[in-house]
Structure 1
Amino acid sequence: MDVVQMIRSVSRPRRRLMLIVVLGLAFLAAAWWAIDRAARLTATDAAAEAARNEAEIMSAGLQSELDKFSLLPLVLAEDPQVRALLAGSTPQAPTLSRRLEDLARQTDAAAIYLMDAQGVTLSASNWRLPTSFVGSDYSFRTYFRDAMKTGSATQFALGTVSREPGLYIAQRVMQGGRPVGVVATKVEFDRLEAQWGAASEGVFVTDRDGVILLASNDAWRFRATDMQRASTRDHALDRQQFGIARLEPFELSERHGGGGLVAAPLLDTEQPIALDGWVLHLLVDPSQRIAASVATGRLYLLLALASVGGLIGLAFYSRRRREKRAEAVLAARTQTLREQLNQANRLATLGQISAGVGHEINQPVAAVRVFAENGDRLIAAGKAEDARGNFARIIELTERIGRITSELRRFSRRDAPEPRVFSLADAVDGALLLLRDRLDGARVALSMPDAAALSVRVRAEPVRLEQVLVNLLQNALDAVGGSGSVTLSVRTDEAFCFLAVQDDGPGFDTEASQLLFQPFATTKPGGLGLGLVISRDIMRDLGGDLTLEESGRGGATFVMKIPRA
C-alpha cells in the first residue's frame, strides 16, 4: 500500500492531518538540504577568501626573499675585485672568497661564487668547507649557459656537491664588451619551508611546468602536478637538475579534511610569483569552518521549526483559552530560555578559562602556602635568617605564577624572554618541588636519571622549561592514577638534550595521538585542551620541540627536545 492509498483509507480529518505531516516532513527535508548547501557554499567561500589572503602574504614573503637575493649577483658583477680576478689576478681569489663568505653569512645565502667564461669556479663563499665549489666546473648548468647568453638567469636544482635543493641566481660579468664570467648565488629555503609547515595544511611552489620546487613537506619536492607535461620532459636533464630521471605524480594521501559532521576537499589556492612562472599553492582544509556553518544553519532551522511549532500550538491553545495571555506566557518563557542559554554559554566559557589558569598555577600557589607556613614557624622559633630564605622562595614562586599566567597571553602574542644557560637539574628540581605534595601523596614509583645525566648544561628560559615539565608530570600522574610508575630519562647529542617523561598508563589510541597538540583537544573530562599546545609552543620558541614518542611498551612517552649550551 503506497502513501496515497494509506491517506485515502482513513477519515477526512485524519487524512488532512497525515497530509500536513507528509508535506511538513518534505518541507523539512528540503529546508535541511537547502540550509546545508547554503552554509557549505558560504563557509567554503569564506575559507577560500581567507586562503587567498594568506597565500598573498606567503607569496609576498617569498617574493621579498627572492628580490633580496636577486640584487647580489647584479652588484657583484660590477665589483672591482671580481673583475680583477676574471682578468687573471690570481692573488685576488682568497681575498674575494673571504668577502663572499662574509656576504653569504650576512644575507643567509647558501653560497655565492664566481665562475670564469668556461664555467670553472674561481672563488666561492664556501671555500673553507669540504663541499667547496672552488675548482668545480659548472658549465653544464642551465643557469650558467643562459646567463652567458642573455646576461642573467635562474634555475632551481639539486646541488651537485651538497645535494641540497636551492635556487641559483646568475649574472653575467662583462669586460671590454665580451662576457668573461658569471656570478651566482644559491638560495636555500629550509627555514621558510619549515615556517610554512608549522602554519598551514601544506604549501608548495611549482615552476611553469608544474614541477614542485619548494614544499612544506619534503616528500612533495620534485613531483609533477601535470603528468601530461611531465611525460614529455627530457629525462637526462631532469636527472641532472633534480637527481631523478622520472618525476612521480603529486598525490595527496588525504584529499579530505574534517570528519564527524562534514567532510570537504582541501582547497588549493594559487598565487603567482614573479619568477619564471612560479606559482605558490596553499592547501587549506575548510572542514572545520564548514562544520561550524552547517551546525549554525541547522540550529537556526531547528529554532525556526520550534518557533513554528510553538505558534501552531499557541493557535490551538488560543481557541480554547485566552489568546493574548497565552502569547505573553509563551513569549516570557522563550525569553527566559534564551537568557538561560546565553548564561550557560558564558559560564562554560568562564569554566574553560578558569580550568586552564588553575591547571598552570595550582602547584605554585600550594608551594607558596607551604613556604609561608614554614616561614611563620621559623620566625616563631627565632630563625629569622632561615625564614628570610622561605620568603625569598615565596617571592620567586609568586613571580613564577605571574609568568605562568603570562604564558597564556603569550600563546597568542608569541613573544618570549631571552633564554640563558643553566643545568638541566635546576629545571627538574624546580618541577619536582612544585609537585612534591602530589608525589608524596600518590603511590607512584618515580625513576630519576643519575646526577651525571642531569648535569648537562642547556640553553632555555628556566621558568617556562619548568612549566612544560610540570605539565608533563601532572599528565603522567593523571594517567597512572593512584598507582603506577613514572620515569624521567635523559639522552643527548651534539646539539640537543632530550628529556623524556614516560608513564605506564593507558596511553593514547591513534586518533587521540593525532589530536594531542591541537587547541581544545583533550582526553580528560573537563580538560581545557591547551596544556600540551602551550607546552609545545614553549619548547619550539626555545629552539627545541615536544613530541609524543612511540615506546612500544604501552603508556605514553613525551620527549622535550632542549638546545644544549
Structure 2
Amino acid sequence: MAGWTDIMVRDRRRLILPAVVVIVLLVGLVLSVDRVMYARALAQEKEVARDDAAILAAGLRSELDKVSLLPITLAGDLQVRELLEGDTSQTRQLDTRLENLARQSGAAAIYVMDKNGLTLAASNWKQPASFVGSNYAFRRYFRQALNAGTSTEFALGTVSRRPGLYIAHRAGSAASPQGVVAVKIEFDALEASWRKTTDGVYVTDGTGVVLLATDAGWRFRLTGEGVARARGAVQDEQRFGLARLEPLAIMRVRGAGERATVEAPLFDTLQPISPDGWILHLLVDPGPRAAAAVASGRLAVALALASTIALAFALFFVRRRRQALQEEMVAQRTRTLRDQLSQANRLATLGQISAGVGHEIGQPVAAMRVFAENGEKLIARGRAEEASANFREIVGLADRLGLITGELRRFSRRQPGPRRLVRIGEIVDGALLLLRDRIVSMDVALQMPSADDLDIAVAAEHVRLEQVLVNLLQNALDAVGEAGAVTIEVIRNENDIRVRLCDSGPGIGAHEVAQLFQPFATTKPDGLGLGLVISRDIMRDLGGDLVFEPDAKQTCFTMIIPRTK
C-alpha cells in the first residue's frame, strides 16, 4: 500500500508543473488577446468619431450658410437705406418684409439699427419682446460692424434671454456709416437633432467658451486654455448673463442603459468651424465598444481551446453570422449618413448660390413693380389696352418667379422623390436656373447640347441628378474664372446616356487626380472635400457612375446614366 501511495504522489507532482504552465499560458494568451482587441476597438471608435464629427460640422456650416448672406444683401436694400436716411413712410412695410424673410430663412430675428444703435425695424415687430425701439450700441457686434463693415458675436438675448449667433453688416460706407443690419440665429433645433444621435457634442469659440451643447448645463463653461485666460466680468455679464464662467467638467458621456466593464479615456474629436475660430467637439465613450471587443476576444479564446473540428465549424458559422449583422448595421448607418451628407451638400450649395438666386428673383420683382405702376397710370388715363399689355408682362414675370422658387424648393427637399422618366433638358435647365446669375456675372461661355440630345429621357430621380450637375458646374466655374468656357454635351451609347461636362480651367494635377473621389480631399481653402464623393455615390446608387476623363486641353467629368429599358 505504501508503494502505491508513493506512485500516486509522484504522478500528482508530475502533473502540477504542466498544469501550472498551461494556466500561465492561458492567462498570457487571454491578456494578449485583451490588449489586441482593446487597441483595435479604440482605433475603430476613433475612426467612426472622426467621420461623425465631420458630418455634424457640415450640418452646422449648413445652418450658418443659410442666413450668412442676408445682412449683406439687406444692407444694400433700397428700402433699408431710405429708412436709415430718415424716410419712415415705409417702416411697417419693411417690418413685414423682415418678418417674412425670418420665417423663410429660419432666422430668429432680423433687424435694422441706425448708426447710434437704435432699432428702427425688426422681424419681431408684432411680438411683445420686439426689438423696435431698443438700443444695441453696447453690443460688440454692432460696434465692430459699424467700424469694420461686418461682425459676428454669440451672446444671450437681452430681451428673450435665449442664446444665439448675431451676424451684422454695415449699411453705408466706412467714411459715412448709416447703420447696421443684424440677423440672429438660434440653434435649438440643431442641438435637439444632435441629442437624438449622441450625448457628447459641444462647440467652443476662439476663447474656449462653450456656445452650443447637447447638455444645456455645459453652455457658457470654459474649456482648455480659456480656463487660465483673464476675462472681463462686465463683458461676460452682457454676452452670457454670467459674470464668472466656470470650467467645464465632464466625467463620462454614456447613453441611457449602457454600462461598460472596461474603463477607457473619452475621445474628444475636433472639427474647426467658421466663423471666429469655432471648434466642434464630439465626445465619444469607447468603453462599451472596448468592453464588447474584450469580451468577444475572451469568448473566441475559450471556444478555440474547448472545441473540436465540428465545434470549430460552428464557431466559423457564428462569426460569419455576427459579421453579416455588423455589416448590415454599418450599411444602414452608412445609408443614413449618406442621406444626411447629401442633404447637407444641397443646403450648402444653396447657401453658396443664394446671392445669385436672390438677384434672379430681385430683377422680376423690380420689373413687376414698374409695370404695375405704369398700368395704374394708363388705366387712370383711359388707355386700357396699353395697361392690359403691362399686366400681361406682370403675369409672365410672376411665372418666372414661380419657376425659380419652385426649383429652390425642389432642390432643397430632404427626400428627393421617386424615380421617374425625366428629360436631360429638365436636369440641365434646373441646374442653370440656380447658377444662371453666377455664369452671367463671370462672363462664362457656355456651350449647350443640341435640342434632340436634351430631349432624351432617362429613368432617374430629378433632384439627385440635378444635385450632381450643380456640383460639377460649381467646380467648373471655380476652375475657369472670369471669361472662361464650359461645355455640356450628351453622348448616346447602346447601354447608357453620358452627360459630359468640360471646362477650360488649368486642369487637375496627377496628385489631385489620385485623390479626386476620396472624402475630405480638396484643393479649395474653404472646401469640405465631399462634393465629388457624394456625386459619385448618387450616380452609383442610380445604377450609373461618375468618372473623370483626362483630356489634354480640358478638364472633363462624365455622368453615366443607364438607358431606359
TM-score scaled to structure 1, two decimals?
Answer: 0.52
Match of 1:71 among 69, 72, 85: 69
1:45 partner amino acid: A
**Is 1:49 aligned with 2:53?**
no
Q: Label 1:162 to 1:42 Cα distance change in 2 as closer, same or farther (>3 A).
A: same
**Could you tell me how far apart the structure 2 residues matched to 1:96 and 1:267 are?**
49
Q: Label 1:142 to 1:230 Cα distance change in 2 as closer, same or farther (>3 A).
A: farther
> Percent of counterpart pairs with the same letter?
52
**Could you tell me how far apart the structure 1 residues matched to 2:108 and 2:280 are?**
22
**Could you tell me how far apart the structure 2 residues matched to 1:75 and 1:342 are?**
59
Name the counterpart of 1:145.
143
Contact 1:256–1:266 (CA under 8 A) maintained in structure 2: no
Report the secondary structure of 1:170's partner residue: strand
- The alignment covers a number of residue pairs equal to 320
**Could you tell me how far apart the structure 2 residues matched to 1:284 and 1:46 are?**
12
Name the counterpart of 1:133.
131
Contact 1:111–1:125 (CA under 8 A) maintained in structure 2: yes
Deviation of 1:212 (Å): 0.6
CA deviation digits over 1:134-176, x for unaligned, max 9? 1111111000111111111000000011111000000011159
Contact 1:166–1:186 (CA under 8 A) maintained in structure 2: yes
2:291 partner amino acid: A
Name the counterpart of 1:285.
285
Contact 1:227–1:249 (CA under 8 A) maintained in structure 2: no
Write the mapping of 1:376-415 to structure 2, written as runs, cut at 5 A.
none
**Could you tell me how far apart the structure 2 residues matched to 1:239 and 1:75 are?**
32
Considering only aligned residues, what root-mean-square deviation do their CA atoms show, in Å?
3.1
Match of 2:153 among 144, 152, 155: 155
2:58 partner amino acid: A
Write the mapping of 1:6-405 to structure 2, written as runs, cut at 5 A.
15-175=13-173, 177-226=175-224, 229=227, 232-254=230-252, 258-259=258-259, 261-306=261-306, 331=309, 333-334=310-311, 338=315
Q: Label 1:81 to 1:338 Cα distance change in 2 as closer, same or farther (>3 A).
A: closer
2:275 partner amino acid: L
Write the mapping of 1:450-529 to structure 2, written as runs, cut at 5 A.
none
Deviation of 1:119 (Å): 0.9
Report the secondary structure of 2:130's partner residue: coil
5+ long unaligned stretches in structure 2: 1-7, 326-413, 416-565
5+ long unaligned stretches in structure 1: 1-9, 308-329, 349-413, 416-565
Contact 2:49–2:282 (CA under 8 A) maintained in structure 1: yes
Contact 1:224–1:230 (CA under 8 A) maintained in structure 2: no
**Could you tell me how far apart the structure 2 residues matched to 1:22 and 1:176 are?**
85
Report the secondary structure of 2:269's partner residue: strand
**Could you tell me how far apart the structure 1 residues matched to 2:16 and 2:231 are?**
68
Contact 1:165–1:188 (CA under 8 A) maintained in structure 2: yes
Q: Label 1:245 to 1:16 Cα distance change in 2 as closer, same or farther (>3 A).
A: same
Q: Label 1:297 to 1:179 Cα distance change in 2 as closer, same or farther (>3 A).
A: same
**Could you tell me how far apart the structure 2 residues matched to 1:17 and 1:182 are?**
90
**Could you tell me how far apart the structure 2 residues matched to 1:205 and 1:123 are?**
31
**Greater relative contact order structure (CA < 8 Å, 6+ sep):** 2
**Could you tell me how far apart the structure 1 residues matched to 2:232 and 2:291 are?**
46
Name the counterpart of 2:353.
none
Contact 1:154–1:168 (CA under 8 A) maintained in structure 2: yes
**Could you tell me how far apart the structure 1 residues matched to 2:95 and 2:311 are?**
80
CA deviation digits over 1:32-71, x for unaligned, max 9? 1221111111111111111111111110010011112111
CA deviation digits over 1:429-454, x for unaligned, max 9? xxxxxxxxxxxxxxxxxxxxxxxxxx
Deviation of 1:12 (Å): 7.2
Name the counterpart of 1:6.
none
Contact 1:209–1:230 (CA under 8 A) maintained in structure 2: no
Deviation of 1:261 (Å): 3.6
CA deviation digits over 1:456-507, x for unaligned, max 9? xxxxxxxxxxxxxxxxxxxxxxxxxxxxxxxxxxxxxxxxxxxxxxxxxxxx
Q: Label 1:13 to 1:276 Cα distance change in 2 as closer, same or farther (>3 A).
A: same
1:276 partner amino acid: D
1:222 partner amino acid: F
TM-score scaled to structure 2, two decimals?
Answer: 0.52
**Could you tell me how far apart the structure 2 residues matched to 1:228 and 1:13 are?**
70
**Could you tell me how far apart the structure 1 residues matched to 2:282 and 2:322 are?**
35
Q: Label 1:229 to 1:261 Cα distance change in 2 as closer, same or farther (>3 A).
A: closer
Report the secondary structure of 2:223's partner residue: coil
Contact 2:117–2:142 (CA under 8 A) maintained in structure 1: yes
Deviation of 1:78 (Å): 0.9
Contact 2:149–2:174 (CA under 8 A) maintained in structure 1: no
Deviation of 1:284 (Å): 1.9
Contact 1:77–1:183 (CA under 8 A) maintained in structure 2: yes
CA deviation digits over 1:2-54, x for unaligned, max 9? xxxxxxxx987655532222222222222212211111111111111111111
1:171 partner amino acid: H
Report the secondary structure of 1:262's partner residue: coil
**Could you tell me how far apart the structure 2 residues matched to 1:187 and 1:260 are?**
38
**Could you tell me how far apart the structure 1 residues matched to 2:166 and 2:321 are?**
60
Deviation of 1:287 (Å): 2.6
**Could you tell me how far apart the structure 2 residues matched to 1:242 and 1:306 are?**
63
**Could you tell me how far apart the structure 2 residues matched to 1:32 and 1:335 are?**
19
CA deviation digits over 1:351-380, x for unaligned, max 9? xxxxxxxxxxxxxxxxxxxxxxxxxxxxxx
CA deviation digits over 1:317-374, x for unaligned, max 9? xxxxxxxxxxxxx54x44675599799999x9xxxxxxxxxxxxxxxxxxxxxxxxxx
Contact 2:304–2:312 (CA under 8 A) maintained in structure 1: no
Contact 1:235–1:245 (CA under 8 A) maintained in structure 2: yes
**Could you tell me how far apart the structure 2 residues matched to 1:107 and 1:336 are?**
60
